Each structure stands twice: as C-alpha cells, then as structure tokens.
Amino acid sequence: MSAEVLRTPGSTGQWFTRAVLRNGPLGGLLALVAAMTVLSRDFLNGQNLLNVGVQASVTAILAFGLTFVIVSAGIDLSVGSVAALSATVVAWAATGHGLPVWLALPLGLGTGAVAGLVSGALVAYGKLPSFIATLAMLSVARGLALVISGGSPIAFPSSLAHLGDTLAGRLPVPVLVMAAAGLLTTLILTRTPTGRAMFAIGGNEEAARLSGIDVRRRKLTVYALSGLFAAIAGVVLAARLTSAQPQAAAGYELDAIAAVVIGGASLSGGSGKASGTLVGALILAVLRNGLNLLSVSAFWQQVATGAVIAVAVLLDTLRRRATR
C-alpha cells in the first residue's frame, strides 16, 4: 500500500506533464486571450473577436490543407502561390473572358488541385524531396499568376465577392468557410481510408507500403487536397480584397506551416488534427491583433511570432520524448 502511495506522485506528475503537452496549444490560446484582455480594453469586444476570426480564416484554410501534408511527413511551400494563381484564374475567366461564375469557380479550384497533383507526382513518382518539389511549384504558380494577370489585379466577380462579406450583417462569411473547411478536414482525417493512410505514411512509410497501402497514390491525394484547400483560401482572400492580385498571399505558406506546428502536429509526421491547426491559426491571429491594439511595431510582431513558433517546436520535441 505504501509503495503504491509512493508511486502515485510520480505517476500523477507524469500524467500532468503529458496533459499539459497534449493540450498545450489550447492552453496557450486561452492564456494569450487572457493576457490581451488585461492589456487592452478593446480586445474582448464582439466586433474585434469577429475580426480575429476573419484574420485567421485564410491562414487556417491554407493550414488545414497543409495538415494533410505534414501528417504524411511532407511539406508544401507552394500553398500561398497556388492560392494566388487559383484566384487569378477565377477572375481571369469570369471578369476577363465572360465565363459564368459557376464555371469559373470550379476552374479555379481545379487549378489548385492540379497544381497539388503536379507537386504530388514529383514527390511520389519523381522521388523529389517535398521541400524541393513544392519550392519549384511556388515559383511556377506565382509566375503563372503574373503571366495570366499581366502583373495587375483583376476585379473579382461581384457574386463571389460576397464571400468576403458578413451574413445577416453580423457573421463573417470567411469564418463560416473556415469552419466548413475545418469540419471537412476532420472528417477526412478521422473517417476515411485516405486519412488513416496519411497517419500510417507519416508514422512509417515503409511499414505502410508493406501493409498494402498504395503510398504513391495516397501522396497524390494528399498534395491534391493541399492544392484544393489553397485554392479555396485564395478565393476567400480575393473576395475580401474584391480583386485577384497575383502577388497576394505571399509568405502565407510560412504562417500556415506555423499554424499546423503550433497546433501540435509533428513535423516528422504521424500526428496532427484539424482542431489543433485551428487553434494554431487563432493563436497567430490573436497575437497579431493584440499587438496591433497595443501599437507594437510590425518589426517586433515578427519577433514575437518567431518566438511563438520556436516554443511550439520545442513543445513538440518534449511531447514526443514524453510519449516514448
């Protein structure tokens, strides 16, 4: 009996440590919200909180697509450029060439999916490292966006521009799209054979192959989904800007990767979830929104964001050690 009592504190301490590491992103978000509430009277305001949701929406949608890739132990650096290319294709087809929106929109979304398929083929069949394959796609997609648009913004179709508005004058549509994308990500990861295959590939690719998973075909699906989600994010961003800009979403891929990592996904693959990715995107949005309210320089905001990413990766390392 006494031995059990002596072991209890240690086991309790281990349980607490693992619980903190497992729920660290959510705890970090709550702590950040509490801190910003104390530091700024304007933060905990209904309209400002909706603004935070809108600011997080594009990054979150991009990050949901990247979650598939990172769970599979890959990386996709092209999502920002693919988002810009997809939105440019929609505007070019609808505004520039009079194509009906119901055709232009699938064309733009299909462009994103095809870009992802190309990256996936380079990784799965060309055996290129995902870093190199998607870095190449980053340049190609951005270049095509500039070629198609002539380097100038193209007015976005008014019917699609409503995606950047609010519903019933209150709820921002980008937040609804973000929620739908998050739900779809959750369903794919937890309820489909493709989702289970992603975790298996990320955990041990060779074991996944020996267990009968068609790894190359699954990788094509993973990158196609990443490209499709990037296209959705590009459409939402263009709707908010009321124009498709070929230089839009530059650097967004870094924020999206950061959101996935901050949300608890492991860069070595095999772990990650949509709810964590959403929390990661919200942490970045709350941090930037709060620092803006506090009139902190944009340069120092970059420093703060980098520090948060470093802490998130450190927690990921500690979490993996604790689960061994």
How does pLDDT run across 295-305, given as a tens digit for each residue? 999 899 889 88
Extents of the domains making up the chain: 42-322
Q: Looking at residue 264, what is its pLDDT? A: 86
How does pLDDT run across 302-323, given as a tens digit for each residue? 898 888 888 877 876 776 666 6
Q: Looking at residue 2, what is its pLDDT? A: 43
How does pLDDT run across 144-192, given as a tens digit for each residue? 999 999 999 999 998 898 888 888 778 899 999 999 999 999 999 999 9
**What's the CATH number of domain 42-322, 1.10.520, 1.10.3470, 3.20.20, 3.40.50?**
1.10.3470
Helix segments in 23-129, DSSP class H: 24-39, 46-71, 79-91, 101-124
Cα 291 to Cα 26: distance, rounded to the nearest angstrom: 19
Is the full-model pTM beyond 0.75? yes
Find the distance separating the first CA and the last CA of the chain, reported in whole Å. 28
How does pLDDT run across 244-255, given as a tens digit for each residue? 999 999 989 999
